[in-house]
Chains A and B, each alone.
Chain A
Amino acid sequence: DTAVSQTPKYLVTQMGNDKSIKCEQNLGHDTMYWYKQDSKKFLKIMFSYNNKELIINETVPNRFSPKSPDKAHLNLHINSLELGDSAVYFCASSQVTLRDTGELFFGEGSRLTVL
């Protein structure tokens, strides 16, 4: 059983298109995230949701819109795709306690290529 699963694994699309990436976690965690990993492997947080509420929204173009229908799912919709959006997008989840964020469990990533 995959703890954090995201689909699709690969996505190739043209500039200007709209695409979505879906994520589901079966760990019972309250918090889910989207991270972007660029070609140099740099990992940067994009969004964080806790119990379906947006907690963190880093400086990300508003073409990116996360949606959390329930606490086990966090989808990422991207409008008007640009070349610079090409990256690997990772979904992650954690159980946030009073003390800390806790261990992040990552999905296997969705590689987006914009042509």
Chain B
Amino acid sequence: QQQVKQSPQSLIVQKGGISIINCAYENTAFDYFPWYQQFPGKGPALLIAIRPDVSEKKEGRFTISFNKSAKQFSLHIMDSQPGDSATYFCAASVGQGNLIFGKGTKLSVKP
């Protein structure tokens, strides 16, 4: 019940396309859902986050869509660029509890 299931494991998108990464969870007590971006040789860094009281949050080309009833949330990257090529992790936590990470999606954006 503490798991966060992430798909796909890898994704190849053409430059300018839309990248979509999905996550699902079981624990309805989760109340914080961040996405982290990790470039090779670097630590993960927070990209965008959402709380369950909103269904969507947009920051530039990055949007989180949240479906509370389905217990799913997704990351959309519009106009994907080669510089977006990285591994993306969804995560979830309850209050002050530790973050539970999904298994990651390796995104490659082809020029």
Residue contact B44 to A43, C-beta cutoff 8 Å:
yes
Interface-central residue, B36, B41, B49, B101, by most chain A CB under 10 Å = B101
Please, how many angstroms separate the alpha-carbon atoms of A107 and B93 in the complex?
Answer: 21
**Main SS class of interface, A:** loop
Q: Is the CB of A106 within 8 A of B96?
A: no
Chain A, residue nearest B32 (CB): A100
Contact of B43 (CB < 8 Å), options: A40, A48, A109: A109
Say if the beta carbon of A112 comes within 8 Å of chain B: no
Chain A, interface size: which category?
20 to 34
Q: Tell me the smallest distance from the CB of B8 to a CB of chain A, in Å.
A: 13
B111 within 8 A of A: no
Flag if B31 contacts A100 (CB, 8 Å).
yes
The smallest C-beta distance from A55 to any residue of chain B, in angstroms, reads 8
Interface string of A54-97 (1 = CB under 8 A from B): 00100000000000000000000000000000000010100011
Asked if A43 and B101 sit within 8 Å, CB to CB, the answer is: yes
B93 and A100 contacting across the interface, CB-CB below 8 Å: yes
